[in-house]
Structure 1
Amino acid sequence: MALIKEFCAENFTHVPKAIERGADRIELCDNLAVGGTTVSSGVMAHSVRFCHARNIPVMVMIRPRGGNFVFSRNERCIMRADIDQASRFGADGVVFGCLTDQNQLDVGATADLIDAASDLEITFHMAFDQLSHEDQFVAIDWLAARGVKRILTHGGPMDQPITHHLNHLRKLIHHPPAD
């Protein structure tokens, strides 16, 4: 498997330079200081057109606000609308994650968004890091069974270097899919 260099862009400003410097994929993700939120429709539309003219795929963060990953019914409606918009603009995929208030995978909300994104690639984002290690393996199986191909993870708390989590990351990578 080839290494894919993905650039996380808060807006269009750095997209051309990222591609010029070798980015293989762009993730549109505003407000990185709060963990990322959905970009504006203008940024989304223009970035997708620009990137696709250069054969660069675009993933769009679907998250209505910073903070935790527990979303109300109204927020999930917003997320569905943002997924629909990403699809209409021609994005290649979406990036999202939903948890319960006990930091477990919110299977109902996640399944609903997976259904809404049926024509797009889906990446489950770093909400994954809020799950217990045991629940992460269960989540991998559940997500894989529903066609989710990628999970973004730091392997542990973001305030620790990723090198502290290499053993756990290896276990996640080598986790055999459930039957």
Structure 2
Amino acid sequence: MLIKEFCAENFTHIPSAIKAGAKRIELCDNLTAGGTTVSPGVMSQTYDYCHEHEVTVMTIIRPRGGDFVYTDAELKIMHEDLAVAKTRGTDGIVIGCLTSEGQLDKEAMLEFLAAAEGLQITFHMAFDALNKEEQFKAIDWLAENGVHRILTHGGAAGTPIADNLAYLKELITYSAKRIIILPGGGISYENQEMVANNLEISEIHGTKIVDLT
């Protein structure tokens, strides 16, 4: 069965998305900035509602829009937000940290992975900010360190998903089932079957992955 992960901006459309077939929620605020962490109140309401309907919630831990190179103060904010989400009942977190040199911030990621023990972990589209060589290195490291999936568009933001299928296949082949490659960006309920069948995957992500009308 195809798992449809609905990228939700706060709680508003979650009931409709679940009714339309979403089986996992990526919980965000401020999608115009690529998604940031929601308030504790939104967390609690979402977790309670989704768990009543047997739907998993992945909570983004991201303090701001922009790049994925974080200051010490921002990392502290992220750790506190992660602790709140974990205490309130999230099933997993969506996170990603890079260095100013364009590599994984392994030190920061190891600290977050330790803090998130027992939760599912998705490395988000910070992955797409890496060059291709670093992306393959990142797959190795993230898989070795217990990350469950990588969310990626497979190309530059705004490019049609159809243009990125060949590269997504490369990533999937390279991952060799060590880690899930989760395609997102430009995928909707209208083209999801084409994408899923082409890539032979069982999970798919998007803000329009189910029909809310």
Q: What TM-score range do you get, normalising by the shorter chain?
A: over 0.9
Question: Post-superposition shift, 1:145?
Answer: 0.7
Task: Give the whole-Å Cα distance in 1 for the aligned partners of 2:60 and 2:132.
Answer: 24
Question: Post-superposition shift, 1:176?
Answer: 4.7
Question: Post-superposition shift, 1:159?
Answer: 2.4
Using the TM superposition, name which of 155-164 and 119-128 deviates more. 155-164
Task: Give the whole-Å Cα distance in 2 for the aligned partners of 1:92 and 1:112.
Answer: 18
Q: Is the 8 A contact 2:28 2:35 kept in 1?
A: yes
- Report which structure shows greater RCO (CA 8 Å, sep ≥6): 2
Question: Post-superposition shift, 1:24?
Answer: 0.5
Task: Give the whole-Å Cα distance in 1 for the aligned partners of 2:52 and 2:99.
Answer: 39
Q: Is the 8 A contact 1:26 1:59 kept in 2?
A: yes
The 5 A counterparts of 1:144-163 are 144-163=143-162
Q: Is the 8 A contact 1:64 1:75 kept in 2?
A: yes
- In the other structure, the counterpart of 1:55 is 54
Q: Is the 8 A contact 1:87 1:119 kept in 2?
A: no
Task: Give the whole-Å Cα distance in 2 for the aligned partners of 1:96 and 1:30.
Answer: 14
SS at match of 1:13: coil
- In the other structure, the counterpart of 2:122 is 123
TM-score w.r.t. length of structure 2: 0.81
Q: Is the 8 A contact 1:57 1:92 kept in 2?
A: yes
Q: Is the 8 A contact 1:98 1:110 kept in 2?
A: yes
- In the other structure, the counterpart of 2:13 is 14
Report the AA paired with residue 125 of structure 1: H
Structure number having the greater strand percentage:
2
- In the other structure, the counterpart of 1:136 is 135
SS at match of 1:44: helix
Report the AA paired with residue 98 of structure 1: C
Q: Is the 8 A contact 2:139 2:175 kept in 1?
A: no
Question: Post-superposition shift, 1:119?
Answer: 1.8
Identity of aligned residues (%): 56
Question: Post-superposition shift, 1:160?
Answer: 1.4
Report the AA paired with residue 119 of structure 2: L
Deviations along 1:109-148, whole A, 9 cap, x unmatched?
Answer: 1111111111210000000001111111110110011110
Task: Give the whole-Å Cα distance in 2 for the aligned partners of 1:162 and 1:74.
Answer: 35
Structure 1 stretches of at least 4 aligned residues deviating more than 6 Å after TM superposition: none
Task: Give the whole-Å Cα distance in 1 for the aligned partners of 2:82 and 2:30.
Answer: 18
Aligned residues, how many?
Answer: 177
Using the TM superposition, name which of 85-94 and 167-176 deviates more. 167-176
SS at match of 1:175: helix
Task: Give the whole-Å Cα distance in 2 for the aligned partners of 1:57 and 1:176.
Answer: 24
- In the other structure, the counterpart of 2:44 is 45
Task: Give the whole-Å Cα distance in 1 for the aligned partners of 2:27 and 2:8.
Answer: 5
Task: Give the whole-Å Cα distance in 1 for the aligned partners of 2:175 and 2:59.
Answer: 28
Task: Give the whole-Å Cα distance in 2 for the aligned partners of 1:119 and 1:74.
Answer: 25
Task: Give the whole-Å Cα distance in 2 for the aligned partners of 1:110 and 1:81.
Answer: 15
